[in-house]
Amino acid sequence: MASGTPQSGVGRVIAGRYLLLNRLGSGAMGHVWLAHDQRLACEVAVKEIVFRDAVEAVEERTARVARARAEARHAAGLRDHPHVVTVHDVLEHEGLPWIVMEYVAGALDLRELVRRRGPLAPAECARIGLAVLDALTAGHERGVMHRDVKPANILLAPDRAGAPYARVLLTDYGISIQPDAGETRYTLTSALVGTPGYLAPERATGGPPTAAADLFSLGCTLYYAVEGCGPFERDTHLAEVTAVVLEEPRPPMRAGALEPLLASMLVKDPALRITASDTAAALAAIVIPQSHPRTRLDLGSRPPWEGSDATTETSQRQASHGFGLASGHGGAGEASSTARYDGASEAPTASGYRGASEAPPASGSVPPGWARPGPPVVSSPSYGHDVLSSAPAGRGFGPPLTRGERHPRRSHVLRALAACALGLLLALGGVWYAMAQRTTDGTAKPYGDAVALTHPLKDGDCVVADWPGNPFQGAPRLTVDPTCAEKTPDGQVMAVVPNASADEARGRGTAECEQRTREIREKLADVRSYALVPTGAGFEAAGRRTACLVLGAHGPVYGPLGDHRKPGMRFVDTANMQKRDCLDAPSLRAAKLVSCAGTHDQQVLGFTRLSPDTPLGRAKSLSDAACARDVPPKDYGYDPNRYEAASWTGKSAWTSGTHLVVCTVREQNGGTMGKDGP
């Protein structure tokens, strides 16, 4: 144990009050623990300062302690903000500060969410960005610059209704600063304050922390969320910092509506960068697109430009004969049927004139170029001629029609015929769709024609997924693998959720499956949740249930998952190894799942990722050291004098390009574990 480091481990009581339960994660300054507040009988999160190097410089130790105190002070000043993790207390224990914070149950940071589920939709990224920007702005108004906005510092958690990832929380004010308050800047020697790849260019070149710099970092974060990688992501930290200063971000491929905003946020010159208020407006427009409102009319009123009583009487007589138009103006009964769009982004006009911005003609006159309300002219041999009215005046049918107009009676007949034809087509289409959704025995397909299953899925069913395009876009064609091995399954049903109706399944199925599969997904390295929602026609055939699947995010899972695995199962790949699995490893190439209640050779602690340019053969010689660095067994309560890090690499992680490694712990002398281990 390094000199000056407090003894860490489950069961330790901090300041006579906080009982450490388990480690939630680690950061640049130390560990975050889940703890039980014995005084208030509730769970909290506590951050512990950790010094890994026994000969750590005095300046660095002082800087870390000062940062912890600053983090508590700055975050406490924002404790009432809905998008900032609440800080309850900062206390001294064994000479070092511990920060007591709100425990956010079920939280997942943005980096991990994207790693598990893949890039997010632009609208979802905009929702997250809007919340984080609100938190940053609240800090900026108090003079507090965060200085380390990145995906790992954004937590997503369920709200009170249980909707997954609905809460957005900014955390880790560990290197924040108030430049105008005369605070000392505790910057480590030869180190940049912040995260390479997310630093603003002016910060990377030694400039002062500003609100514009935080905005640049938020732009990098949103880019990561929507693209799955950072805009300046490189193989080394030095290369990332160089790219931030000298290179333009990679052109985004998935950003959609976010693309122009990201470009404005990632401008190198802070003076030319988009402002926070303009960013908020742009994000809000993506979250809630502004549609052009349809014209709404009071069907009991007359248009303001309606003429004399004689004109009104004429309108009423025409209405009684089935005609909806009088003189050159739209009658109330015709307004809704003549509304149209002249373009995809133009609001409909209820009057039938060229546009709402043009004034209607005066009563009884039709200036050149104006057309009476009515259906658009159809260019076809039958209707291509100019229609001239021969109706005599004084019969209540309005003034004679001018060139370019059609006879009202013929227009209504044509509309009636078109409506009948459309109705027939819709009816035939409905019949065809209903037939297509049914199986050979006449029952509806539970999940529709695209999925193609003829029977509902059960808990534990292994499936092979054939996606029509990119994975997790659209509905996959599924087949069941009854052996859960022979066809190399892509995933497994981990739960089935009953629904009261098909509408409820569509509205709540995805969120419920996210909740039901969260525990298993947190134990696996590279999987995503997928809700298989029954169609309306197949709701009964699906047993009125949504199937909650866990699928490999970038490839097959090579076997059963979670509790569907049996002790003695042999792993054919690392894809379905999960945290806290106990392994019997008779050789370096074979591993079996065994009960942790008995003796075992290794236990899975977590996962890490090797550099993309590392070949598989080379990975096997580097993975132990990577696990010792990123997932050290001592962080899980194992005595470093007795236990050491070990690892497993699988071909699938290199085939998919994820380069994930499974990190385990084992006895240094090769002995068995489980008798007196932690």
Hey, where are the domains in the chain? 1-103, 106-184+194-289, 412-442, 462-562, 567-667
Tokens of residue 210, six digits: 């500003």
Q: Cβ–Cβ contacts within 10 Å for residue 403, how many?
A: 8
How much is the pLDDT for 458? 94
What average pLDDT does the segment 25-53 reach? 79
Q: How far apart, in Å, are the Cα atoms of 187 and each of 172, 177, 183, 192, 203?
A: 16, 11, 12, 7, 12
How much is the pLDDT for 606? 92
**Which residue is it, tokens 């050291």?**
625
Instruction: Look at domain 106-184+194-289 and name its CATH class.
Output: mainly alpha
Q: Which residue has the higher pLDDT, 660 or 373?
A: 660
Residue 528 amino acid letter: R
How much is the pLDDT for 372? 34
How much is the pLDDT for 36? 92
Residue 466 reports pLDDT greater than 90: yes
String of b and e for 36-49 (b: at least 16 CB within 10 Å)?
bbeeeeeebbbbbb
603 and 582 Cβ atoms separated by less than 8 Å: yes
For 175-211, what is each residue's pLDDT tens digit?
444 444 443 333 333 345 578 899 999 988 888 889 9
Gap between the Cα atoms of 663 and 467, Å rounded? 31
146 and 212 Cβ atoms separated by less than 8 Å: no
Q: Which residue has the higher pLDDT, 118 or 309?
A: 118
CATH fold of 1-103, please? Phosphorylase Kinase; domain 1 (3.30.200)
- Helix/strand/coil (H/E/C) assignment for every residue in 601-639: CEEEEEEEECCCCCCHHHHHHHHHHHHHHHCCHHHHCCC
Lowest mean pLDDT of 5-19, 167-181, 409-423, name the range.
Answer: 409-423
Residue 23 reports pLDDT greater than 60: yes
Task: Please give the full DSSP string across 638-673, using - where no structure is assigned.
Answer: --TTTEEEEEEE-HHHHHTT--EEEEEEEETTS--B
How much is the pLDDT for 649? 93
Tokens of residue 40, six digits: 């208030």
What average pLDDT does the segment 322-330 reach? 33
Is 601 one of the annotated active-site residues of the chain?
Answer: no
Closest CA to 614 of 606, 625, 629: 625
Rounded to 10 degrees, what is the CA torsion of 316, 317, 321, 322? -20
Catalytic one among 148, 461, 481, 490? 148
pLDDT tier at 320 (50, 70, 90 boundaries)?
very low
How much is the pLDDT for 79? 67
Task: Estimate to the nearest angstrom the gap between the alpha carbon of 648 and the chain centroid.
Answer: 30
Q: What percent of the chain has pLDDT over 90?
A: 38
For 383-412, what is each residue's pLDDT tens digit?
232 333 333 333 333 343 343 444 444 555
Tokens of residue 355, six digits: 């546009």
47 known member of a binding site = yes
Q: Which residue has the higher pLDDT, 480 or 308?
A: 480
pLDDT tier at 558 (50, 70, 90 boundaries)?
very high
CA atoms within 13 A on the CB side of 180: 9
